[in-house]
Chain A
Amino acid sequence: MTEPAASADPWALSALHLYAQVSVGLALYLYGGVSTPAWLSVLIAAGPLTLLALLLRRGAARGPMPRRLAWLPGIACLLDGLYAFFALCSLLRDLAPDLDVRIAAPAYGLILGVALLSAPDRDALPRLGRLALPALGGLLLFCLLCVPGRGRFERFFPLLGFGPLPVLRGALWVFGASATALTPLLSPGETPGKVLSRLLPALLFASATAAAAAWLLPARALCAPRTVGWRLMLISHTTPSVPCWSAQAAALLLLLMLSMCTGVRRGVALLTGNAEKTGKENAAAAVLLLLAALFAAFREEETKALLLGAGPWRAAPVTAAAAWLCLRRKEKE
C-alpha cells in the first residue's frame, strides 16, 4: 500500500536529533574547560555542514553507498546514540538523585527496544519525529520565553571566552554533532529539498538555547564542573517557573530518547545496508540500545572518556564516506 507523500519525514527526525546532539555536544565539550560562544560555533560549523550536505547529495544521488563503506557513517550514528544515552543517564541522575541509574538505564533501553520491535515498518520513527517536532519545539521555545529579561548585552558576546582556537574547537564539536543528521541523504531517492528548511531552524534553535543560557549566567559559569544533565536543564535552573521546569524536563527526556533511537536505528540501517527485512534491523537496534544502556550505566567514566575523545571527530566518518562517494563518481565519469 502506497503511503501518502511526506508521511514519514526523515528530516523532521533529523532536526530533533540535531537539536539533541548539539545540546549534548555543547554541554559535554565544556568539560574540557574550553569556552566558546555557542552561536559563533554554529555559524562557523554551518559552512562545512553545507559542504558536507552537498557532497552527500551529489554522491548518493547517482547510486547507493557500497556496504563496505557504509560502516563509516554507521559507526558515527551509533556513537550519536551513545552520546544521547550518556546525556540521558546524567539527566536522570540530576532529575531523580534517588534513582539508581544502573537499573533505570537498562529499563530505558528495554522500553525503547520493545518500542522499536513493535513497529513493523521503518517509517514509524521518522513519523514520530514529524509528530514530535512541533510539540517538542514548542515546549523548548516556551522554556526560552520563560527566561526573565535580566541578561546584560555585553555578556552575549564574550560569552565564555575569546580566541580563535577555542571558537574553532567549539565549531568542530558542533560540526561533529550535526554531521550524522545528514545521513538520510545517503538513502537513494531521498529528496534533499527540505534539508536546509528543516535543519537550519534546529541549528539556530540549539544555538539560541545555548545563547540564552549564556545570556543569563555569569561569565564563565558554564566552565564550572557541572554535570551534563545540569547543563541541559540550565534554563530551568535560572527561572523559578513550574511550567518551564516541567516542560524542559519532559521535552529533554523525550528528545534524548528520540535521539538515541535515531542514532542507533540509522546506524543499524547503514551497517546492514537497509536490509529488506525491517524486523531484523529493529531487533539489532533493540539489542544495541540495550547494550548502549548497559555501557552508559555501568561504565560511566569510560563512556565519558570515549565520548569526549571522539566528540570533535564525529563528522570525520561521514565526511570520508561522502568524499569517497563523490570521488567514485568522478572516477566513473
Chain B
Amino acid sequence: MTEAMAGDYSKKLRALRALCRAGESEDVTVREFSSMGRRAALFYVDGIASSADMDRFLLRPLLTAAAPEAGAELSAHLLSHVLPVASLKRTDRYGDAVARIFSGDAALILEGMDGALTADVKGFVKRAVSQPVNETVVAGPHAAFTESLRDNLVLLRRMYPSPDLVSEEMTVGTRVPTRLCLLYIPGIAREEVIREVRRRLLGCRADYVSSLGMLEQLIEDDPFALLPQAVSTERPDRAVSFLCEGQAVIVMENAPMVLALPAGFLHLFHAPDDTSLRWQYGAFLRLLRLGGMALALLLPGAFLALTVFHPEGMSLSLLTSVVESQARVPMTLFASVLLMLLVFALINEAASRIPGAMGASLSIVSGLILGQAAVEADLISPLVLIVVALSGLGSYTAPAHALTLALRIAQLLLAVAAGIGGYPGMMPVLFFLLFRAAALKSVGFPCFSPAGRGDRLLRLPIFLQRGRGPYASPAAPPRAAEPVRAWRREGP
C-alpha cells in the first residue's frame, strides 16, 4: 500500500482497481473516460462521494478541457486551469490514494500524469449539529459535536476564531486508517506535552481504532488505573476552554466527542456550566457534588462497618432501629448491602441499554417491584435501601460518566472490605485507592496537580481566575489582565 504510483496509466489503473477491489465491491466505482485526448479514470465510492459534485466539478470540466500547452506539466495544468475544486491534492502513494477514496474523495488518474489527483467531493449522509445528550446544561451554549470531523473542526473554529488554534491532521489504525486532528494553542500548551501526545498517537499500532474511547485507552499513561487520565466532552465550548487551559484536544472522525489531555481530577469534577453560572451558585453546586461523591464512595462501607463491626460507634436509638429492621430479613446485612448495590448497578446498566420508550417501565420495575415490594416482603431492610439509594444518588452527581463508574467500583470494593473487617478492613483499601490516585499521571503530569491560579475545586469569582491551569506553559500569558473589571461604578 505504501508503494509509489509509478509506471504507465494501465499499470496504475490495474493496481488501483485491485487495491480498491473494484470488481468485488459494488459501490466502488471506476469511471473511465477520455480527456484532452488521453485516457483517464475516476475512482470513487458511490454514496460517500457526491455524484452531483463530481459531475459538476470533475467530469464536466475534464471532458471539455483543452489540451495543455506543449511542455506544461499535466497535473499543474489541471490544478490551475481545469478543475474548479478547492480541495485538490496530489498523491504519489497507492495507500494514500486508496485511503482518500474510501474517505469520500474521488481519485483521478490520467495518462501521462504522474501519481494521482484527489478531489474532496464528500457527500455522505451525516447528522446535523444537535443538543448535547450527556452534558446538558442550564446555562451555556447548546451545540454538541457530531460524527463528522470536519463539522467538529468548524464548531471549534467558530468558538475560537483565531489563527492561534493549530490543527495537525494524522491517521490512526494500521489497516483501517481513521482521520483525527490534534488541536492546541502554541504558547499556551506546553511543547513537551504536544510532542508527547503526537508521539503516542503516531505510536498506536491497532489495526482499527473504532472510537475515541479506544484511542484513549491506547494513549493513556496507566491502563490499569481506576480513574481515567483524559477527559472527553461533547461540547465545543468546553473543548475550547480546555484548549485555553493549555491542553491538547483530539478530534476524531466518527466520534461525537473530543478528548482533552493532560487531564486531572478537577476536569472530571467540574461541570460544563460551572463557569456560566454566577460564582456563588457554582461554588454551592460544587460543594453539593463533592458531598454527593463522598456519599457515593463511603456511605455503604461506613454503614456496614458501623452496624456489623462497631456498634459502639452508634447511638442506641439508631442501633435499635437497625437491629429491628434487620431482624425480619433472612439475609445478613453484608449480603443485603452487596445485593442492593449490585441490583442498583444492574438497573443502571439496563437503563442505559433500554430503548427510550421503555424507560417508564424500567422505573416502575426498579422503583416499585424491586424497592417497595422487596421491603414489604422483608427481603431487604428499609435502612439498607435508603443507604444504597443515597449512595447511588451521590454517584450521579459526578459530571463525568467515567468518574461515576470509577466511584461505583471503588464503592463496591470498600463495601466488601468493610463487610469483611469493618473500619480496619475498609481504611487500607481506601488508602490504597487514594495512593494509586495520587500516583496517577496524565501525559506525565500528576492527575491531582493543584489548580494553581486556574479553576479550583470550589468556584471562585471569575475575576479572581486570572491564571491558567497547571498544564499550561509557564510562559503562557495570563487569561486576563489585572484588573479584570477595569471599569468604575459611576452614577447613582
Contact = CB atoms under 8 A, between A and B. Distances in A.
Given A124-B439, A249-B313, A254-B430, A95 B446 contact: no
A92 interface: yes
B428 A7 contact: no
A242 B313 contact: yes
Contacts of B302: 246, 250
Nearest to A98: B309
Interface residues of B, number: 40
A154 interface: no
A1 B424 contact: no
Contact of A132 (B306, B427, B434): B434
Contacts of B443: 1
Contact of A131 (B306, B315, B424, B438): B438
A191 interface: no
A95 to B, nearest CB: 6
Contacts of A240: 315
Contact of A257 (B193, B306, B431): B431
Contact of A111 (B432, B446, B449, B450): B432
Interface string B416-428: 0000011110111
B439 A95 contact: no
Interface stretch (A115-123, A195-203, A209-217): A115-123
A253 B306 contact: no
B428 A257 contact: yes
Nearest to B471: A4
A2 B470 CA distance: 11
A128 interface: yes
Interface residues of A, number: 44
B448 interface: yes
A225 B298 CA distance: 34
B431 A95 contact: no
Given A7-B449, A128-B434, A1 B444 contact: yes
Contacts of A241: 315
B202 interface: no
Contact of B450 (A7, A92, A257): A7
Contacts of B487: none
Given A118-B436, A242-B315, A246-B306, A3 B422 contact: no
A253 B436 CA distance: 18
A221 interface: no
A282 B142 CA distance: 49
B438 A127 contact: yes
A118 B439 contact: yes
B140 interface: no
Interface string A1-32: 11111111000000000000000000000000
B435 A115 contact: yes
A71 B92 CA distance: 67
A4 B438 contact: no
B432 A4 contact: no
B31 interface: no
Contacts of A257: 427-428, 431
B472 to A, nearest CB: 9
Contacts of B470: 4, 7
B452 interface: yes
A4 B427 contact: no
Interface in A80-126: 92, 95-96, 99, 104, 107-108, 111-112, 114-116, 118-121, 123-125
A314 interface: no
A1 B448 contact: no
Nearest to A118: B436
A57 interface: no
B160 interface: no
Nearest to B222: A120
B434 to A, nearest CB: 6
Given A4-B470, A111-B428, A119 B446 contact: no
Nearest to A124: B439
Contact of A128 (B313, B435, B450): B435
Contacts of A128: 434-435, 438
A119 B435 contact: yes
A249 B427 CA distance: 9
A240 B319 CA distance: 12
A245 B430 CA distance: 18
B428 A108 contact: yes
A246 to B, nearest CB: 6
Contacts of A112: 428, 431
Contacts of A253: 423-424, 427-428
A266 interface: no
Contacts of A120: 439
Given A245-B310, A246-B306, A95 B438 contact: no
A130 interface: yes
A8 B438 CA distance: 10
Contacts of B424: 92, 95-96, 99, 104, 253
Interface string A54-83: 000000000000000000000000000000
B407 to A, nearest CB: 16
B434 A7 contact: no
B346 interface: no
A236 interface: yes
B452 A5 contact: yes
Contacts of B315: 240-242
Contacts of A108: 428
B314 interface: yes
B302 to A, nearest CB: 6
Given A3-B445, A3-B449, A119-B438, 16 more contacts: A1-B192, A4-B449, A4-B471, A95-B309, A118-B436, A118-B439, A127-B446, A236-B313, A242-B313, A245-B306, A246-B305, A250-B302, A253-B423, A254-B431, A257-B427, A257-B431
7 contacts: A4-B449, A5-B452, A108-B428, A131-B437, A242-B313, A245-B312, A246-B306
Interface of A: 1-8, 92, 95-96, 99, 104, 107-108, 111-112, 114-116, 118-121, 123-125, 127-128, 130-132, 236, 240-242, 245-246, 249-250, 253-254, 257-258
Complex A-B, nearest 7 residue pairs according to Cβ-Cβ distance, in ascending order: A1-B444, A245-B313, A4-B470, A124-B439, A119-B439, A128-B438, A253-B427
